[in-house]
Amino acid sequence: MNADSASADYRLTFVPPRMHKEATRPVFTYNLSYPRFVGYGRGAFYHPKHESDPLYVPVGHIPEVKSTFGYYEATEPLMNDQGLGLGESSCAAMLVNKFPGDDADARDVPTGMLDTVTLMQLALERCATARCAAETMGRLSEEFGFVPTPGEPTKGRVFGRTAWDDAGEAYTMADPSGEAWVFHVVGGVNGVTKSVWAAQKVPKGHFAVIANDFIIGELPEEPTDDFLFNRHAFRAARAAGLWDGVGKLHFSRAFAPDPMSFESPAGATPIPLYASVRRWGLYNLAAPSMRLAFKTDNQEYPVFVKVEKKLSHRDVMGYFRYQYEGTEFDMTKGVLAGPFGTPFRLEGGPKTGQVPRGIAIQRTLYSIIAHTGPERQLAWFAMDTPTTSVYVPLFSNSSAVAPAYSRGHQSKFDRESAAWAFNFVSNFMNLNYVTMSKEDVYPAIENWQDRIDEQLPSAEKMKGEALAKWQASVQEEVAKSWWNMSDFLIMKYNDGRVNSPTVGKSPGYPAWFADLVGFSNDIHPVWVQAAGQPVPSIGKSLNLVRPEFQLPVSFDFATSSWSYLPAKTSLSSAGAVGGIGMGVIAMQALFTAGALAAGVALGRASERRRGAAADAAAPYLRLA
């Protein structure tokens, strides 16, 4: 999972296991603020630091169990001490419940209690298996009602009726047995059920990607070994006018708005590429011989693809760092990548357009890979965007978190924080991304991942204090090395020059960029317009991939349909039109391949609009 947010509390901690004498468990709602929680019963990390610190107030209570497992937690829960790992991705939905205590909401819908984070907490507290997690989250959402993260849902429109962005949730779950599941949940229908949910098991050796859009398709008439769901889903779909009762109920097409036509907010151009480009990119990495064609409609992709080789954790790390290199959507190419090839794009601005939505983006808070199976149960955790970060191991049978990983605040620069070390390096790289990445940062990342892998077999034999000491020391050493990296980069690339191994070398602008802007002896400011194709010298020098896929160009609001631009008309048409999205989450990948069962989520969807515009009416650069 890649957790994307510009405001959330990313600090890493471990919530200890507990025995419970109390009969009920308090339920809180978790928004994207800092601190994410202040109170008791969840470890000393969350205790108030000052007497004046207000405690969080519960919105309700549910029955407690006798004992609960411990688990790692950052903005969201990650993995428990039984080796059960979770991921999450916020999705658009047709049904959304009222929030607890929201008297201003006059809609005739159920009131929910359990939000995005709470459901994950409950699953990790009470379950050791992925199936248990799906069953528990489903049962509790039916009984108490699900609500999304407060502040995330955006009211939109599809085919004349109301729909909600970031109002549903897709979860992934994987356990030490090698079993993995995908779970979807939305609001409910009064008189039928408080929440509708469905879960599907990932077949062995297969790969699934969730990119802020539901993927589960047709449901059987009754739950099976591979499908679990709310038995009232069929009646709820009919009662809400989402299904006519003819044929099989397709969960995603019924309970999520059509991604090709969904306007969020109403009147905004739909952004189907926001999900589809990520699924296309990752499915082709996992199964390259399929040569899966690009689909604008996310629902046209298969739910799962069979991987072509056993995937290692290093493969998955590469997936989360992927910027579509070597494809027509390569984010290191084109004018928006600048002369030095940064894969990151700014959000906001006065113009509406669309660029590929990266697997990881600049405001990714952290990345988590649940590497769990019969042979190994640990989570790989990378602070900040994984593209420029190092994954460190968090063993399920340990609870060690180094101080550098448990501190940090979005609005306070802190040289004792690992998050700020990785943030600084990632942002500084934009001065000359291509050189810093190839000569300095990427080699350092690989060196660290190699070192950790070499030590891993010995660490797996450790127990108790020895394992805790090793795990924390790796975190501290990585954080320290990245601060050293930041200082080195400042020196090496000072004043637009390269000062190591010799001082004062000026790289200048690359030849392709000079050709692009028509660099000449004219000293006036240079102005250029977009070209249909780059000049031959540029295309050849950059090894550009000629576009082969048709992309949507213009949306007709009257007919809810798209017009398309033939691929051959432009070598840069990948960034032609479009939209954006958030989450501490945005995309998840789930796969079971050999001993590796991993759940991954890339960013949340809710901030894709809030982070891009100061107010709802403002135009902005949309990230596909």
| Whole-number Cα distances in Å, 145 to 178, 195, 237, 564 | 30, 5, 16, 41
Kindly report the number of other CB atoms within 10 A of residue 21's CB atom.
Answer: 7
What is residue 181's predicted lDDT score, i.e. its pLDDT? Answer: 98
Q: Which pLDDT does position 567 carry in this prediction?
A: 55
554, β-bridge pairs: 563
Q: CB–CB of 264/609 below 8 Å? A: yes
Of 386, 269, 328, nearest to 620 by C-alpha is 269
Question: Is the Cβ–Cβ distance between 56 and 39 less than 8 Å?
Answer: yes
**What pTM was computed for the model?**
0.92
Low-confidence ranges of the chain (pLDDT < 70): 532, 537, 539, 566-624
Q: For tokens 């050791």, what's the residue?
A: 128
Residue 605, pLDDT score: 45
How far is the C-alpha of 472 from the C-alpha of 460, rounded, in Å?
14
3-state secondary structure 151-192: CCCEEEEECCEEEEEEEEEEEEEECCCCCEEEEEEECCECCC
Task: State the distance between the two ends of the chain, measured CA to CA, in whole angstroms.
Answer: 19
Both tokens of 1, joined, read 């999972």
For residue 412, the model assigns a pLDDT of: 96
Q: Residue ranges of the domains in the chain?
A: 2-487+578-623
Q: Which amino acid is present at 118?
A: T
- Residue 156, φ and ψ in degrees, nearest 5: -130, -165
The SS3 assignment for 14 reads strand
State residue 202 phi and psi, 5-degree precision: -80, 125
Which has the closest alpha carbon to 384: 403, 402, 371, 365?
Answer: 365
- Cβ pair 390, 25 in contact under 8 A: no
Phi, psi (deg, nearest 5) at residue 183: -130, 130
Q: Are 145 and 102 in contact (CB under 8 A)?
A: no
Query: Do 406 and 392 touch, CB atoms closer than 8 A?
Result: no
Q: Where are the alpha helices (DSSP H) in 257-411?
A: 273-286, 313-320
d(CA 404, CA 385): 17
Identify which of 216, 220, 76, 95 has the alpha carbon closest to the alpha carbon of residue 153: 95
Nearest 5°: phi and psi at 68? -130, 150
Distance of alpha carbon 333 from its chain centroid, rounded?
A: 23
- Could you give the residue ranges of the DSSP H alpha helices within 31-129? 116-126
Nearest Cα to 158, choosing from 245, 94, 95? 94
How far from the centroid of its chain's Cα atoms is residue 477's Cα? 26
